[in-house]
Amino acid sequence: MTARSVSITFAGSGGAGVMTAGNMLLDAAGRAGWYAYMTRSSGAQIRGGEAAAMMRLSTSPVQSHDDHFDVLVAIDWQNVGRFSAEIPMTSDGLVLGDPDGGDFPEQIGAKGARCADIPFKKMAKEIEGGRPNMIALGAVAGLVGLPEDAVLGVVRDSLAKKGEAARTASEASVRAGMAFAAGLPACPRLAAAEGQSERLWSITGNEAAGLGAVRGGIRFVAAYPITPGTEVLEWLAPNLAKLGGVLVQAEDELASINQIIGASYAGVPSLTATSGPGLALMTESLGLAVASETPITVVNVMRGGPSTGIPVKSEQSDLNIALYGLHGDAPHLVVAPNSLADCAFSTQWAVHLADSLQTAAIVLSDQSLGQSRATIAPPLDPGFRAIRLMPEGEAAERYRRYTNTASGVSPMAVPGMKGYQYTADGLEHNEYGTPSSAAADHSAQLDKRLRKLAVHDYGQHWADIEGDGDIAVLTWGSTTGPVREALERFRASGGRARLVSIRLISPVRPEQLAAALAGVARVLVVEQSHGAQFHRYLRAHYDLPGSVRAFHRPGPLPIRPNEIFRQLADWS
């Protein structure tokens, strides 16, 4: 039995090496020409807690998990039962575990999948320096039909620095696992990889966001660590240095956003990354960036909220604060990547827009995009750069920093430009930047700051629009992945429907959406938020045609394709 997509979970206690096994399987699949996608789940413990690497291997690009898992491999059973809700198994799924690995969890057993033993510990003891996780890697590779040389190549490269003995032991462990797999009950084997013309990349969404940032021209980053955004900053730290840029670890999020405002004011494109609680702290100064017209980009990797919420799990519930968190009338940009690879594009585009429009941009990524790893076709550099309109020539008269131009964008001088000294101000001001509480100045500057966002040509990037038919699924961000898959199934079952995934959340594009929804009789809104934040946003800013249904629920469990498919199939 071959399949175009196979889903596998490695689970075990902390230190058992499930993430290593998962990463190696992903890389091996990528080298052999398959697409792979992996999310991580772990207990709250910093070290030693239970961990799960949830994988999906596929013959075509993959952006989200399937409905179920075909294989669960537990290197040991310690606390693995806690993941049961996250690992729905197919009815004929295969559960592999070590009979010496502790008590088999009831929650897993209740699912009715087939069970088989792999004596990881015993097998590892028979190999000098043998590793149970490498045996598990070999077993899974053997079950799904990954070529041995692809797996061993990854093992050799990954352990190049660990020495001959470690490498030999791991290779032997993988081979032992593959040999053992031949005697295990069958599970779906991956169909042959469709020949890729280029070598795939292995990348996480947070790394992709970092890449988009430097591609866009970011050369200053201020950083305060927060889960699940930290990896954006950790990727940027060494890579910015290589580009001659600077990353400063700040004392808190208030400092990090103000540092980037300072660096950007000084002429260097600047960015920070955070998550919900950090974004909340930054909102006052986001308003400062808007009022002083200082371009900045903030990547917000959403997690479960409110308050500390669920730091390690995904949710689309920072939409409201990103849109409405700023006090006063403070128009700004909100851009949302809708796939792991799109984290690169959307971040780069946001950086370009922030500098072009001299305002604050928030990139709304989330944990399921940011902390997932996938093999993807190399994302091309779309060419967006942070380019600012600057004054030219000698300053003839007193510089009007906030000239009320037709486009709303006024030339922005940077320190060092003789004769262009001005004071940037969060106080309302006149065209020179001088503080003013006059009604005419307030109204003129509010109009200017709104106009520059409204009249800009955002091209086709404001949304991804696919398919046709009189049903439309309207979504944003990471739920776009399962929606795409649900729509493929719906079309395969004879249905017709279109996808509209909005990337430019703010400013709103009502005319463009109306055109995208022309002829639509039914609209299904899909989002991962308890309060239906996206649905309410749509209701506030757009006219939705026909009848509208909202499918929304909170994290931490991902929205799966079959849930969306059922919404479509049952709506008749």
Contact with another protein (CB under 8 A): which of 284, 428, 488, 563? 284
> Which amino acid is it at 79?
N
Contact with another protein (CB under 8 A): which of 3, 179, 248, 310? 248
Q: For the CB of residue 539, give the shortest distance to another protein in the complex, in Å.
A: 33
Task: Please tell me whether residue 530 adopts helix, strand or coil conformation.
Answer: coil
Contact with another protein (CB under 8 A): which of 13, 292, 297, 359? 292
DSSP 54-113: EEEEESS---S--SSEEEEEES--TTGGGGGGG-PEEEEEEEEE-TTSSPPPHHHHTT--
Contact with another protein (CB under 8 A): which of 393, 416, 459, 494? 416
Q: Pattern of binders to another protein over 424-443, x per CB under 8 A? A: xxxx-----xxx--------
Nearer to another protein, 47 or 242 (CB): 242
Structure tokens at 135: 């045996």
Q: Does 421 bind another protein (CB under 8 A)?
A: yes
Bridging pattern class, strands 35-42 and 373-376: antiparallel
Nearer to another protein, 183 or 244 (CB): 244
Nearer to another protein, 157 or 447 (CB): 157
Task: Please tell me whether residue 247 adopts helix, strand or coil conformation.
Answer: strand
CB 275 within 8 A of CB 339: no
User: Cα–Cα distance between 495 and 488 in angstroms, integer?
Assistant: 9
Angle made by CA atoms 338, 341, 346, in degrees to the nearest 5: 60
| Residues of span 17-46 touching another protein by CB under 8 A | 27, 30-31
Q: Which stretch binds another protein (CB under 8 A): 281-289, 304-312, 475-483, 550-558?
A: 281-289
Nearer to another protein, 373 or 535 (CB): 373
Neighbours of 449 (CB within 10 A): 22
Q: Does 259 bind another protein (CB under 8 A)?
A: yes
User: Cα–Cα distance between 212 and 227 in angstroms, integer?
Assistant: 20
Q: Does 280 bind another protein (CB under 8 A)?
A: no
Residue with tokens 């942070």: 386
Q: For the CB of residue 427, give the shortest distance to another protein in the complex, in Å.
A: 6
Structure tokens at 94: 């295969």
CB-facing half-sphere around the CA of 490: CA atoms within 13 A = 28
Q: Does 381 bind another protein (CB under 8 A)?
A: yes
Q: Does 453 bind another protein (CB under 8 A)?
A: no
Q: Pattern of binders to another protein over 80-119, x per CB under 8 A? A: ----------------------------------------
User: Cα–Cα distance between 466 and 551 in angstroms, integer?
Assistant: 20
Cis status of the peptide bond prior to 306, with omega within 30 of 0: yes
Q: Does 250 bind another protein (CB under 8 A)?
A: yes
Contact with another protein (CB under 8 A): which of 194, 252, 447, 543? 252
Number of residues that bind another protein (CB under 8 A): 68
Cis status of the peptide bond prior to 225, with omega within 30 of 0: no
Nearer to another protein, 133 or 270 (CB): 270
CB 236 within 8 A of CB 211: no
Nearer to another protein, 126 or 252 (CB): 252
User: Cα–Cα distance between 29 and 23 in angstroms, integer?
Assistant: 10
Contact with another protein (CB under 8 A): which of 222, 319, 472, 486? 222
Q: Does 371 bind another protein (CB under 8 A)?
A: no
Q: For the CB of residue 413, give the shortest distance to another protein in the complex, in Å.
A: 8
User: Cα–Cα distance between 121 and 135 in angstroms, integer?
Assistant: 10
Q: Does 417 bind another protein (CB under 8 A)?
A: yes
Contact with another protein (CB under 8 A): which of 127, 172, 261, 505? 261
Q: Which stretch binds another protein (CB under 8 A): 16-24, 49-57, 193-201, 487-495?
A: 193-201
**What φ, ψ does residue 220 adopt, rounded to 5°?**
-135, 130
Quick one: CA dihedral 192, 195, 196, 198, positive or negative?
positive
Q: For the CB of residue 102, give the shortest distance to another protein in the complex, in Å.
A: 35
Q: Which stretch binds another protein (CB under 8 A): 237-245, 351-359, 361-369, 441-449?
A: 237-245
Q: Does 311 bind another protein (CB under 8 A)?
A: no
Q: Does 324 bind another protein (CB under 8 A)?
A: no
User: Cα–Cα distance between 189 and 371 in angstroms, integer?
Assistant: 27
> Which amino acid is it at 505?
I
Residue with tokens 């100045």: 441
CB 349 within 8 A of CB 336: no
CB 227 within 8 A of CB 312: yes
Q: For the CB of residue 200, give the shortest distance to another protein in the complex, in Å.
A: 5
Contact with another protein (CB under 8 A): which of 40, 56, 131, 215? 215
Task: Please tell me whether residue 248 adopts helix, strand or coil conformation.
Answer: strand
Bridging pattern class, strands 471-475 and 498-502: parallel
Q: For the CB of residue 233, give the shortest distance to another protein in the complex, in Å.
A: 15
Residues making contact with another protein (CB under 8 A): 27, 30-31, 199-203, 207, 211, 214-215, 219-220, 222, 239, 241-248, 250-252, 254-268, 270, 284-285, 287-288, 292, 375, 378, 381, 414-427, 433-435
